[in-house]
Amino acid sequence: MKADVSHIDAQAVLAAVMNDAYPDERGRFGPFGGRYVPETLVPALNRLQEGVDRFLRNPEFLAEFHAELNSWVGRPTPLTHARGLSKRWGAEVWLKREDLAHTGAHKINNSIGQVLLAKKLGAKRVIAETGAGQHGVASAAACARLGMPCTVYMGSIDMERQAPNVGRMKLLGATVMPVTSGDKTLRAAVDEALRDWVSDPNGTYYCLGSAIGPHPYPYIVRELQSVIGREAREQMLTQTGKLPDIAIACVGGGSNAIGLFHPFVKDRDVRLLGLEAGGIGNGLGQNAASIAYGTPGVLQGTYSLLLQDPNGQIQETHSVSAGLDYPGVGPEHALLATIGRVQYEAVNDDDALEALAECCAAEGILPAIESSHALAGAKRFARANPGKRILIGLSGRGDKDMPTLQKTLLKNEVTGG
Amino acid sequence: MHHGNQISEAIRQARAKGGPAMVAYITAGFPRREGFIALLNAVASASDVVEIGVPFTDPMADGTTVQRSSRAALEQGVSLQWILSELTNAASKPRAPLLLMSYLNPLLAYGLDKLPKAAAEAGITGFIVPDLPLEECSDLRTALNQYGVALVQFVTPVTPADRVKVLCDAGQGFMYGVTMTGTTGKNVAVPQEVLDYFARLKQAAKVPVCAGFGIRSREQVMRIGPYVDGVIVGSALVEVIERGEDPAAFLRSLRM
């Protein structure tokens, strides 16, 4: 159950990672992961596991999934040479454009895959949680596409700061349930979705949006999101003839990061860098950087690194980006951090916003504030390591962030004309 | 399976007198830290077993009442350490066996190496951990059992028959039979199929069976009573305490 992380044999675990040994049959990524849920959900998770075993690598299911990815999501997404940023940063910068995927972020890869799985499993309705609203919009769209009723739980604070996405979900036919319990953000939304699922574990499919939660969710999300890294790896080889020196992604729960990193994990010469939300400082409650500042514990079904106090109470987090505002991280990231295969750092609010502005000006691309953490981390890396080939996962577009940007970057702008 | 004998015995003895045993739940330190032991004694005077809730920030199996009481307790700084020290130092302690009901993370933070001894010294005879299914529980169970402390297992209406058997084989103290799918505190009508489920559970169980989640009225207790050894009253009792009413009088009013 509980492992003392300091006793891990990093070399042996790294070898196991290279050997695709994780998750093991108990849903473990080394000491992390597992399945910490109320007894009511155990049969539902067992059925989900059976469905995963039956469908997730089944050629017919994959053909259907990839047909949706190609004709409806708009994959493959492009790999863009960021000429302006390259020049400014003294590097060769490439952007994997998940902002161009349908509904504006990588979240759709997972949602369409899971809703397809829900249909195969005979579910009658789909529920989802959302932070920034991107997973909610993606799930609402996937449910509309495949003819499933959809309910999305969203913290009331997030509903305010991501208002445009609330309207989109409603237009796409979803019921949006405001969550006023707990911290009123992503973590409270996950708690409420779990409570809904506990009430109807047989008829409801819980479409979890990040690489968190009880097994097999971290595995499902990795499998469905790995399309990002597979495409990017192939595109790097086709467009530059080489792999990148480093691949960089932002990490909240960690779905886009695991999707980008996973296909590169065995490429030992490719460094991997994850950027967490550093918020306004390194104190408890000032950030959402669970790997940088967290300790091991169990939250929402999985054993991972958490922002908690000495009594095991989960701490409220802060980030300018709703999508990274979560006090835990996917168990596979906790493992990759522990063995050092992926390096994780924090980027603060201001640096993320500055990188957002720079990307707009230099590339004509408005990135999500989440993705801007990766851009800021890439800039920092480029300054310290000149001339490197850098692949950045641009996980989503920033249109949804306009309410926040009006209050931050644009607060001194005078409107009118 | 002798761990949690004291709990099983208390339930059996109460059952032998007629109606189902009364298992009462309170959130530690709610509504106020001051008076925790006095409230515990008052509740214990009208019940056979008491569950003491350790507040947690993310009680995913609980409804709005226990979410509210947990938050209020946390805001006053209630922690597992405080609860155990209050119990250890209490001048008068209830005769009814005491269990701690806690989500896993506060237990991990306390340390599984120190917890069983400290709990036993505080007079705790069992643990209920709603986010710890059987497959993940061996470390905690082994640690607790070294001090004779029981780990209670849950069974729910959606648990398949073969799993019911496995859970019953692992049962200690009592089997926590969840009356419905869902979180704590909702009102349950108790249809015939739920009674049938408890009848099946009773047959498979090696320790007493208690029904919990949504028990709030004398009518429900009368209807479920013949099929189980005990009933667990949680959210309804917390609401009584929240309104400043007499918890012992409420518990007595549920008796058959």
Give DSSP secondary structure letters for A89-129. Answer: HTSEEEEEEGGGSGGGBTHHHHHHHHHHHHHHTT-SEEEEE
Same domain, residue pair A50 and A139: yes
Same domain, residue pair A47 and A80: no
The residue from A202, A222, A242 where one domain ends is A222
Q: Is A314 on the interface with B (CB under 8 A)?
A: yes
Q: Is A8 on the interface with B (CB under 8 A)?
A: no
For the segment B167-220, what is each residue's pLDDT rounded down to a tens digit?
999 999 999 999 988 887 777 678 899 999 999 999 999 999 999 998 999 999
Same domain, residue pair A99 and A176: no
A38: in domain? yes
Dihedral sign for Cα atoms in the order A337, A262, A362, A402: negative
Range of the domain at A48: 29-68+107-222
Neighbour count for residue B126 (Cβ, 10 Å): 26
HSE-CB for A110 with a 13 A CA cutoff: 32
What predicted TM-score, i.e. pTM, was given to this entire model? Answer: 0.96
Residue owning tokens 């001051």: B34
Same domain, residue pair A33 and A119: yes
Interfacial residues of B (vs A; Cβ cutoff 8 Å)? 56-61, 63-64, 67, 74, 79-81, 103-110, 112, 130-133, 135-140, 153-156, 158-160, 163, 167, 178, 181-183
Looking at chain A from residue 315 to 354, which residues have their Cβ under 8 Å from any Cβ of chain B? none
Same domain, residue pair A122 and A243: no
A145: in domain? yes
User: CATH number of B5-254: 3.40.640.10, 3.10.180.10, 3.20.20.70, 3.40.50.300?
Assistant: 3.20.20.70
Same domain, residue pair A319 and A354: yes
User: Would you call A36 and B156 a contact, using CB atoms and an 8 Å cutoff?
Assistant: no
Same domain, residue pair A98 and A113: no
Strand order in A28-29's β-sheet? Answer: A28-29, A32-33, A302-306, A295-299
Q: Is A75 on the interface with B (CB under 8 A)?
A: no
A287: in domain? yes
What is the chain A residue with the closest CA to B70? Answer: A182
**CATH number assigned to the domain comprising residue A135:** 3.40.50.1100
A245: in domain? yes
Check residue B2 and give its pLDDT. Answer: 64
Check residue A3 and give its pLDDT. Answer: 46
Same domain, residue pair A253 and A267: yes
Among A49, A202, A298, A326, the residue to mutate for chain B (most B Cβ within 10 A): A298
**Which residues of chain A lie closer than 8 angstroms to B131, CB-CB?**
36-38, 298, 301
Strand order in A125-130's β-sheet? Answer: A175-179, A150-155, A125-130, A204-206
A274 closest CA partner among A305, A306, A244, A249? A249
- Length of chain B in residues, anyone? 256
Check residue B180 and give its pLDDT. Answer: 84
Show the low-confidence residues of chain B (pLDDT under 70): 1-2, 188, 256
User: Would you call A34 and B136 a contact, using CB atoms and an 8 Å cutoff?
Assistant: yes
Instruction: Give average pLDDT by consecutive 10-residue segment, chain A, 417 residues.
Output: 63 90 96 97 95 96 98 98 98 98 98 98 97 95 98 94 91 97 90 92 95 98 98 98 98 98 97 98 94 97 97 95 94 97 98 98 98 98 98 96 93 69
3-class DSSP state for residue B211?
A: strand
The residue from A199, A222, A245 where one domain ends is A222
A128: in domain? yes
Among B158, B159, B184, the residue to mutate for chain A (most A Cβ within 10 A): B158
For the segment A385-396, what is each residue's pLDDT rounded down to a tens digit?
999 999 999 999
Check residue A414 and give its pLDDT. Answer: 65
Same domain, residue pair A376 and A235: yes
Catalytic hit among A68, A92, A129, A363: A129
What's the structural domain count of chain A? 2
A146 closest CA partner among A216, A219, A72? A72
The residue from A192, A222, A252 where one domain ends is A222
User: Would you call B133 and A37 a contact, using CB atoms and an 8 Å cutoff?
Assistant: yes
- How far, in Å, CA of A386 to CA of A383, rounded? 6
Nearest-neighbour CA in chain B from A387: distance (Å) = 45
Same domain, residue pair A188 and A46: yes
- How far, in Å, CA of A189 to CA of A192, rounded? 5
Same domain, residue pair A93 and A171: no
A324: in domain? yes
**Which residues of chain A lie closer than 8 angstroms to B61, CB-CB?**
38, 40, 195, 198
Same domain, residue pair A127 and A48: yes
A41: in domain? yes
A121: in domain? yes
Neighbour count for residue A217 (Cβ, 10 Å): 30
**Which residues of chain A lie closer than 8 angstroms to B138, CB-CB?**
1
